[in-house]
Amino acid sequence: MECVVSFAAPPRDPVSALSHPDPLSPSDATPQPARLTHLQRLEAEAIHIIRETVAECERPVMLYSIGKDSAAMLHVAMKAFHPAKPPFPLLHVDTTWKFKEMIRFRDAHARNLGLELLVHTNPDGLAAGVGPFTHGSAVHTDIMKTQALKQALDRYGFDAAFGGARRDEEASRAKERIFSFRNAAHAWEPKAQRPELWRLYNARKHRGESLRVFPLSNWTELDVWQYIAAENIPLPDLYFAAERPVVERDGTLIMVDDDRMPLAPGETPQMKSVRFRTLGCYPLTGAVESTAATIPAILQEMLTSRTSERQGRVIDRDQAASMEKKKREGYF
Amino acid sequence: MADGSLLHTDIDAWLARHQAKDLLRFITCGSVDDGKSTLIGRLLYDTGAVPDDEIARLQRDSARGSAGGELDFSLLVDGLAAEREQGITIDVAYRYFATEARKFIVADTPGHEQYTRNMITGASTAETAVILVDARKGVLTQTRRHSFLVSLVGIRRVVLAVNKMDLVGFAQDVFDGIVADYRAFAQGLGFAQITAIPISGRDGDNIALVSARTPWYAGPTLLGYLETTPIAADELATRPFRMAVQGVIRPDLSFRGFTGQISAGQLRVGDEVRVCPSGRTTRVARIVGWSGDLPQATAGQSVTVTLADEVDVSRGDVLAAAANPPESAERFAATLVWMDEQPMVIGRSYWLKIGARTVAAVVAGLDHRVDVNTLEHLPAARLELNEIGSVVLRLDQTTPFDPYDLNVETGGFILIDRVTNATIAAGMLRAAERRADNIHWHAQTVDKSARARLKGQRSAVLWLTGLSGAGKSTLANRIEQRLLAEGRHTYILDGDNVRHGLNKDLGFSEADRVENIRRVAEVARLMADAGLIVLVAFISPFRADRDLARGLMAPGEFIEVHVDAPLAVAEARDPKGLYRKARAGELKNFTGIDSPYEPPIQPEVYIDTTTTSPDAAADRIVRLIEQRGLPGVDGEGI
């Protein structure tokens, strides 16, 4: 099924068309062209953005985090260059604390698509044994994600990195450009952003400077889910409810994905039917109790419960406006 | 998400309905304290776009804030820490919500005077504008400014949202007075439709629900309007076909697909299309889809097309309806919105990006600037930050375009600073400067590469820059002798010989120096077009001017040679006695003494004349020239 590029647009509502006469609409003699749905428009915009980056940058890379947004973004990239492959590799910054299933899925998915996959782990952090249980989420995120990402971008000399972030996720994202300029230290300066007009993106930069490019900027969480459903995009099973071993930490359900999870004396993980709204490092990613095993069921739960997806992310709660701060420091 | 019952009972039906929605992008604008953030927060809240945990946070924060315990909806949209501290909105933010009928993207832009550029940015992608007025204050200077900017970017339908009606007792005469004022003012702005709505963002009157407190008002609610106003993007589908070519996809020798997002019209397999500006025509062979070919595509879609003939098409060209192509020109009348702290300089070269095409552009003249408050045309010598002017632009390449009012995508452009790479202006092309330009170029049979090939060489411009006395002329002469010996056709343009003839009307003011280099660069370009290897030996101390010259030449044709010697060495050589005069105060603005020299950052060739002999340097450069071979035999072009 190819819902997004088809022209299965609904007919215009004749009643509302009559009740709101429009001086700009073409005369009745002009045949009405097919209308694009919101998903078609969002996909077309994302394809345009990805192609523009490839045309204007020397060495782009796609940040692949294995989550649903990455999955949608990667699918758009496959379409953008079809029948060729996307002319850039995928990069995964592996903190070594991801869910095991994410890593399995990552390797299989990249292989199936025939794309080059680069995996980078911060060697200093690894040597120092940095992890969320021993160092806390803030230090872990800084060393194993922010610093690791900067290392990887510098090491390969990437001058543009695609990310799957959306503006509806968080306040500082809402103000970030689609082509987000970073200085040589990878820092974001919110007050010095380039005006972004029409579909004209300015990708010019000096050596050492780089861009973060967010093709899904204008998508919402619901858009991503609907696109995944319409395009049949594979996802890790973690998104779908299943019996999983969890423990409760500060009101959050954490899945015991391996034996690095410290348990209190006498504590045993409980088997519960849970799923994840976002995927990240397992000790920092809260599960939600659910029986939703299909995308429509997930959306039904999501739309009727109405909590934001970032609620499951422990790192955002550490401090107010923490995302803005992290981005200034070079976080994606 | 008011269609809640379906959501609970039949999720598949709900999703199918939701998936068929279209998308409206709009902008809200108003002065500080008009209640813009509150209105947007209210729209998000009333449409269920605010998650429960966000509402909990809102209740917590509202108790602490200035709204005295009531829900302060503006807290939903005040994003950055820097903003919360200062109590202002510093930049364009985008918000997302949906109703049963539509999805919406709203651009939230600040009302402060210094942020005109943000409003233009937010408006550039909007199809309709909600202009907020405080019922207690009426139409203000800022209201006029925002309305003008909205009309400037081509928005034709606006909502006049008269807010804070609760604070004037929902009085109809207050509302009617403001609406009459506004309509009188807006007459000259070319709006096709003005819909005035009395609202209270704080209490929600006439936002999602019809207010019982305005029985005298019979029009739509704000959401009702937004759900039914036509989508401007759909209208583009009825215009002549246009697509800026973003790139070429070549997975193997048998496939050559051209990518782009259709900016207007429809495309069907078999349609005749014209490649602009070259003017060649061909037919659409395939429209390639992800799971099979498409019979047709429409405005707004990103597509990959293959063509019936092997015509030359590259990034930046425009594919257009063959019977109804865009004009092509090099000189334009345009409107500029200046967005940079550094003012616009007439005669300076900037990058201009239009569609997928980036070319060098010079502002050749400034006709007037527009007072955004009174709409008066005022004489001006330059444009400062947030000023708007009517200019003449000269591009270094023939560029296809439509007037902005006919097609935003083929008429809207940005200017980029060549040194800082900042986006410094937005512009709208109005018309080609000369009517004679409305000609579609016939593909020339004798071109630069034909001329150069006849001479057994490839055109080049060797641009030697450096301090007076660094050794530019010596080196240029040595290179020319070597090239002549190899049978190459060359010419030297030298600071002195050009100043005595072509440029004898120019002095040493900044404007004259820019013009001096511009003329030399243009002459060098003509000579390169004739197939020559041109040697330019000019101090040319300013990076922007050398970049201007570089921008005039074809890619790879311009070879910048930094002829370097420390100032002390150059001054000791002093072949013309100029340093002595400058030190004595007899020469003003002398490079190295009382005027700066900006060395190239990445010259193609760097020569240190204190350690490299003229012969060794000439050897290096001649080798470089010889390695370039002939045009068209090393993959030049696509």
CATH number of the domain residue B110 falls in: 3.40.50.300
Question: Would you say residue B552 lies in a domain?
Answer: yes
pLDDT of A249: 84
Residue A196 lies in a domain: yes
- Looking at the structure, tell me whether residues B226 and B125 fall in a common domain: yes
pLDDT given at position B82: 52
- Domain finish residue from B230, B258, B287: B230
Highest mean pLDDT among A3-12, B82-91, B216-225: B216-225
Can you tell me the distance from the alpha carbon of A66 to that of B198, in angstroms, rounded to the nearest whole number? Answer: 48
- Is A138 in the same domain as A170? yes
Mean pLDDT value of segment B441-460? 73
Residue A108 lies in a domain: yes
- Can you give the CATH number for the domain in which A177 is found? 3.40.50.620
Q: How far, CA to CA in Å, does A272 sit from each of A287, A290, A301, A307? A: 10, 9, 17, 20
A contacts of B116 (beta carbons < 8 Å): none
Q: How far is CA B605 from the centre of its chain?
A: 32
Gap from A177 CA to chain B (nearest CA, Å): 9
How many domains is chain A partitioned into structurally?
2
CB contact under 8 A, A191 and B91: yes
Within a domain: residue B86?
Answer: yes
| Cβ-based contacts of B286 with chain A (< 8 Å) | none
Are both B226 and B241 inside the same structural domain? no
Write down the residue that tokens 């987000």 correspond to.
A180
pLDDT at residue B109 greater than cutoff 90 = no
Any idea how long chain A is?
332
Q: Is residue B393 domain-resident?
A: yes
Q: Which residue has the higher pLDDT, B472 or B497?
A: B472
CB contact under 8 A, B288 and A82: yes
pLDDT confidence of residue A324: 58
Is residue B433 domain-shared with residue B459, that is, in the same domain? Answer: no
Final residue of a structural domain among A192, A222, A252: A222
Q: Are residues B222 and B252 in the same domain?
A: no
In a domain, B637, yes or no: no
The answer as to whether A216 is a domain residue is yes
Among B105, B91, B87, residue whose Cα is nearest residue B43 = B105
User: Number of folded domains in chain B?
Assistant: 4
Query: Could you tell me if B28 and B131 lie in one domain?
Result: yes
Q: Decide if A175 touches B, using CB distance below 8 A.
A: yes
* Within-domain flag for B377: yes
Provide the pLDDT confidence category of residue B45 given band limits of 50, 70 and 90. Answer: confident
Chain A residues close to B229, C-beta within 8 Å: 20
Residue B442 within any structural domain of the chain: no
Taking an 8 Å cut-off on Cβ atoms, the answer to whether B301 and A200 are in contact is no
| A133 and A218 fall within a common domain | yes
Measured CA to CA, the distance from residue B243 to residue B264 in angstroms comes to: 7
> Using CB atoms, which residue from A54, A84, A190 is nearest to B91?
A190
Six-digit token string for B520 = 């030399």
Q: Is A327 part of any domain?
A: no
Strands B266-268 and A210-213: unpaired
Residues of the domain holding B542: 448-627
Question: Is A270 inside any structural domain?
Answer: yes
Residue with tokens 């990006």: B353
Domain boundary among B264, B292, B321: B321
A276 and A209 within one domain: no
What residues of chain A lie within 8 A of the CB of B12, using their CB?
296
pLDDT: is A210 or B55 the higher one?
A: A210
Residue B609 pLDDT exceeds 60: yes
The count of C-alpha atoms lying within 13 angstroms of the C-alpha of B598, restricted to the half-sphere facing its C-beta, is 11
Q: Which two tokens stand for residue B319?
A: 């594919």
Strand partners for B378? B369
pLDDT at B634 over 70: no
B294–A299 C-beta distance less than 8 A = no
Q: Which residue(s) pair with B606 in the sheet?
A: B562
Same domain, yes or no: A53 and A199? yes
Q: What is the mean pLDDT of chain B?
A: 85
Considering the domain boundaries, does residue B483 fall inside one? yes
pLDDT of B442: 45
If asked whether residues A77 and A169 sit together in one domain, one would say yes
Helix (H) or strand (E) holding B492: strand B490-494
The interface residues of chain A toward chain B in range 289-308, judged by CB-CB distance below 8 A, are 296-297, 299-300, 303-308
Whether A226 and chain B come into contact, CB under 8 Å, resolves to: yes
Q: Is the pLDDT of residue B433 over 60?
A: yes
Based on the fold, state whether residues B153 and B122 are members of the same structural domain.
Answer: yes
| A226-230, B335-339, B439-443: segment of lowest average pLDDT | B439-443
The CATH number for B425's domain is 2.40.30.10
Active site residue B62: no
Distance CA A234, CA A75 (A): 10
Q: Is residue B255 part of a domain?
A: yes
Q: Do B298 and A36 touch (CB under 8 A)?
A: yes
User: Is B452 found in the same domain as B433?
Assistant: no
User: pLDDT-derived band of residue B90, with 50, 70 and 90 as boundaries?
Assistant: low
Contacts of B121 in chain A (CB under 8 A): 195-197
Domain shared by B124 and B65, yes or no: yes
A-B Cβ pairs (cutoff 8 Å, strict): 233
Measured between alpha carbons, how far is A179 from A194 in angstroms, rounded to an integer? 9
Average pLDDT on B418-431 reads: 91
Chain A residues closer than 8 Å to B118 by CB: 195
Q: Is residue A3 part of a domain?
A: no
Please tell me whether residues A119 and A177 are part of one structural domain. yes
A242 & A276 share domain: yes
**Residue with structure tokens 């030449």?**
B553
A222, A244, A278 — which closes off a domain? A222
The reported pLDDT for the residue numbered B595 is 84
Question: Low-confidence residues of chain A, pLDDT below 50?
Answer: 1-32, 310, 313-321
Looking at the fold, whether A194 and A301 belong to one and the same domain comes out as: no
Verify whether the Cβ–Cβ distance B54 to A308 is below 8 Å: yes
0.90 surpassed by pTM: no
Candidates B22, B256, B409, partner chain A, best to mutate (most A CBs within 10 A): B22
Answer yes or no: are the C-beta atoms of B527 and B496 closer than 8 Å: no
Q: Quick one: B279 and B138 in the same domain? A: no
Q: Given an 8 Å threshold on Cβ–Cβ distance, is A307 in contact with B52? A: yes
Chain B closest-CA separation from residue A41 CA (Å)? 7
The verdict on A29 touching B (C-beta cutoff 8 Å) is: no
Measured in whole angstroms, the distance separating CA B91 from the mean position of its chain's CA atoms is 18
Compute the residue count for chain B.
638
Q: In this predicted model, what pLDDT tens digit does every residue of B237-263 receive, in sequence order?
A: 888 999 999 999 999 888 999 999 999
Residue A110 and residue A241 in one domain: no
* Subunit contact A195:B118, Cβ cutoff 8 A: yes
Residues A111 and A211 placed together within one structural domain of the fold: yes
Contact partners, residue B197, CB within 8 Å, separation at least 6 = B159, B160, B161, B162, B206, B217, B219, B220, B221, B222, B225
Regarding whether A204 and A241 lie in a shared domain, the answer is no
Residue B349's pLDDT is 86
Residue A4 lies in a domain: no
At residue A181, φ and ψ (nearest 5 deg) are: -80, 135
Establish if A279 belongs to a structural domain: yes
For residue B230, give the nearest of A24, A42, A174 by CB distance.
A24
Complex ipTM:
0.82
Domain end (from B321, B339, B366): B321
Residues of B in contact with A321 (CB under 8 A): 80-81, 84
> Which residues constitute the domain of residue A287?
233-317
The catalytic residue among B302, B540, B595, B613 is B540
Whether residues B463 and B391 share a domain: the answer is no
A139 close contact with B: CB closer than 8 A: no
> Do residue B365 and residue B308 come from a single domain?
no
| DSSP SS3 for A323 | helix
> How far off is chain B from A262, nearest CA to CA, in Å?
29
| pLDDT confidence of residue B67 | 53
* C-beta atoms of A47 and B261 within 8 A: yes
Reading the block at residue B454, the tokens are 């006849």
Residues in A closer than 8 angstroms to B386, CB to CB, are none
Give the residue from A222, A252, A271 where a domain finishes: A222
Contact flag A195-B20 (C-beta cutoff 8 Å): no
- Cβ pair B23:A41 closer than 8 A: yes
Minimal-distance CA residue of chain B relative to A41: B300
Q: Based on the fold, state whether residues A179 and A247 are members of the same structural domain.
A: no
